Structure 1
Amino acid sequence: MAMDTAVSTGGVPVEAPSPEQPKRLASTWKRVIKNRLALVGLIIIGMQVIMAVFAPLITTYDPAVLDLSVKELPPGSKGHWLGTDEYGRDMWSRIVYGARISLVMGISSVALGLIGGVALGLLAGYYRWLDGLLMRVVDLMFAFPGILLAMLIIAMLGTSLVNVVIAISIWSIPSCARIVRGSVLSLKNREFVMALRSIGASDIRIMLKHILPNCTAPIIVFGTMRMATAILSTSALSFLGLGAQPPTPEWGAMIAAGRDFMWTSPHMTVIPGIAIMLVVFAFNVLGDGLRDALDPNMETR
């Protein structure tokens, strides 16, 4: 929030606590809840979190244990309500544990991408002399299609889930940097920033304590919607054999393994495909809902 009200502490203005902040948070939450699609997305994400956290409690079978006596069972079979795969592994257990992998991969890659993007965006927006150099680097990264850039990074680093996180986080940096830079450019010449400069506040203090909190709304929206891209990209890379390796229960790898059985056991491909579709849909609609809720123009409508 802009420093509309300040008190003096040791000669440095400090932002006074605003009684309106809890009201704004409550108002934002109410607008998100009233958005039906955003609410559906929030419920789906909540279910994924529950599956990821309580996976050992809500499954009966080990997702990696083979049992060839029950291989390729269709959904609805006794003891395996989502069926089994070509090695007799329970599909429900693999979907549940796959939710854990997708959530961890998405959060890790988006968090790393936000850290790098926010840092670049703050520096580029605040320091004019750095803007040209940093934005040219960002433009160079934009020149590569995202999935190809991720594949190039994995080809250099090697095939593993950790390297997939690194690749997707690097892919996320330029978009985040552009968003933060635009916000910083609109804020750095505001009155409260000029007042801080006039009393000798350091650039680091101004950027981190006063400018960055005012950029949180677009960062939150970007991070939420980027989760959908990160989960989809993780699945795509695993499908291509560049991410999770067998027998890891990752949704993209499950689709890759099931494509040879599309005509005899389509559930091996369809079920993880539906799981990916629902989670990507959930993060996208929640991001749209947050964008609408955090839009200051919505308060005047």
Structure 2
Amino acid sequence: MNHEYIGGFQVVLGVISAFWPVWLGMAIVMGVSFLYKRRLGLYGQLFNSGVGIAGVAICLFWLFAAIFASTIAPFDPIAQIPIMKDALVGAIEPESGKVYLFGGDKLARDVFSRMVYGSQIVLIIAPAATAFALMVGITLGLPAGYYGGRIDMVLSFLANLVLAFPVILLFYLLVTPGIMDTAIPYGLAGLFFLFPIIFFVTLFYTRFKHRPERLYPLLAATLLIGGWAYVGLVFDADPLGIVSIDPNQLNIFVAVVFASSPGVFRIVRGLVMDIKTRDYVAAAQTRGETPWYIMLWEILPNARGPLIVDACLRIGYTTILLGTLGYFGLGLAPESPDWGTAIKDASRLLRSFIHPALPPTIALMSFVLGLNLLADALREQSMKD
């Protein structure tokens, strides 16, 4: 099929201009961050190093790309225009006159639009799954490191049991269609989604138990919002239809949390075992503070540096894992525009057409690079503190 094409320079200009909401958002956020960096704590300190600036810039790029995907992408990511099958970079779609900036794939879908929309899937699942893994790991790691003894032995055994299992095989077992159609993913989701509610209820109660005027509103808000999200995510019964998740995404989400939580648990446990020997912990014990108050308000804030760094790295690992699962065709629907699925689809015709494989590959690599740079900068700043 013969197509009309635009030149390479026009393709570059087209890509740059398509991302105009991203450039605008980055300019505003980074400009404000530079102006007020002294007031922004650890985040503001990132702008004192080139590595930190680069990491923030790359992460902001993909964040705004996900937010403004519908504005940036010229085509529907799953729309098929038969005449554009395997179209090369810069091919013009004859009916609308719009350009397939990165060409078309084997199913005649716009590679550029699929790359942009793929960022939404990554930025929804990876950070959210990492946050839940942190909640689970922190909630279990704090008592294991603080109390020791049988509690530590039992929880450490369970964590080591999961860590000893090959990760890819673990995900294969959790995300295969046979398991996905059972109640196992929803049972695990029901368990894991309880941890944030338990964490914040305990956090507020230990802090404000003698100040009911502060405690009761916070507990009510936690139970209301947490219960609403819990019902929507686990039972898909949100009456307003706001909080919901696709079953395929839920299965991957649960699998990521299940596999990542033991690693967070071990980090938190080690940090607590070190920090609990400090003088300010002994002072809190002398004042008669409860163990959970000490864990949540004395130990945890002083462990935030390593945990923030680990969270950035873990989001990167999760992004690679999502790409790997997509490449093996596990979890997400076959038409999903996520980067792993796009790479898998393109790899089958790699010898004939290389252009569909490059954009999602570069997108995945750049996002993980940005997270690693961010983690390096955070590590440097936390060591200075």
Q: What band does the TM-score fall into relative to the shorter chain? A: 0.7 to 0.9
1-structure distance, mates of 2:88, 2:55: 29
After superposition, give the CA deviation of every residue in 1:250-279 in whole Å (9 maximum; x if it has no partner).
110111111222122211112211111111
Aligned equivalents of 1:243, 1:25: Cα separation in 2:
42
User: 2:48 is matched with which residue: 29, 34, 37?
Assistant: 34
Is the CA contact 2:89–2:103 (under 8 Å) kept in the aligned structure 1? yes
Q: In the alignment, which residue of structure 2 is the partner of 1:274? A: 362
Q: In 2, distance between residues paired with 1:276 and 1:59? A: 18
8 Å contact kept, 1:234–1:243: no
Map of 1:107-146 to 2, 5 A cutoff? 107-129=127-149, 130-146=151-167
Q: Percent identity?
A: 32
Q: Where does residue 233 of structure 1 map in the other structure?
A: 321
Distance in structure 2 (CA, Å) of the matches to 1:94 and 1:218? 35
Deviation of the 1:199 alpha carbon: 2.8
1:172 Cα deviation from its structure 2 partner: 1.0
Alpha-carbon separation, structure 2, partners of 1:223 and 1:53: 21
1:265 aligned to 345, 353, 358, which one?
Answer: 353
What's the counterpart of residue 49 of structure 1? Answer: 63
In 2, the alpha carbon distance for the partners of 1:145 and 1:38 equals 33
Alignment of 1:243-254 (within 5 A): 243-254=331-342
Q: TM-score, normalised by structure 2?
A: 0.68
1:187 aligned partner: 275
The correspondence for 2:72, drawn from 52, 58, 75, is 58
Which residue identity lines up with residue 380 of structure 2 in the other structure? D
Counterpart in the other structure of 1:158: 180
Q: Which moved more, 1:43-52 or 1:80-89?
A: 80-89
Q: Residue 244 of structure 1 aligns to a residue in which SS?
A: coil
Give the TM-score, by structure 1 length: 0.86
- What is the CA distance between 1:150 and its match in structure 2? 2.0
**How many angstroms apart in 2 are the aligned matches of 1:67 and 1:151?**
34
Contact 2:76–2:113 at 8 Å: present in 1 too? yes
- 1:208: Cα distance to partner? 1.3
Q: Distance in 1 between matches of 2:378 and 2:179?
A: 35
Shift of 1:146: 2.3
Matched, 1:80 2:108: no
> By how many angstroms is 1:28 displaced?
4.1
Superposed CA RMSD: 2.0
Distance in structure 1 (CA, Å) of the matches to 2:254 and 2:41: 36
Q: Per-residue CA shift, 1:77-116, capped at 9, x if unaligned? A: 2311111111221111111100010111101210111111
Superposed CA offset, 1:41-98 (max 9, x none): 2211111001100111112211111110111111122311111111221111111100
> Deviation digits for residues 152-179 of structure 1, max 9, x if unmatched?
2224632822111111111111111111
- Report the Cα distance in structure 2 between the residues aligned to 1:29 and 1:201, rounded to whole angstroms: 31
Between 22-31 and 46-55, report the one with greater CA deviation.
22-31
Question: Within 1, Cα distance between the matches of 2:300 and 2:283?
Answer: 17
Q: Work out the CA distance in 1 between the residues paired with 2:350 and 2:162.
A: 37
Q: Which runs of 5+ in 1 are unaligned?
A: 1-21
Question: How many Å separate the matches in 2 of 1:87 and 1:24?
Answer: 51
Residue pair 1:106, 1:227 contacting (<8 A) in 2 also: yes
Tell which deviates more after alignment, 82-91 or 27-36: 27-36
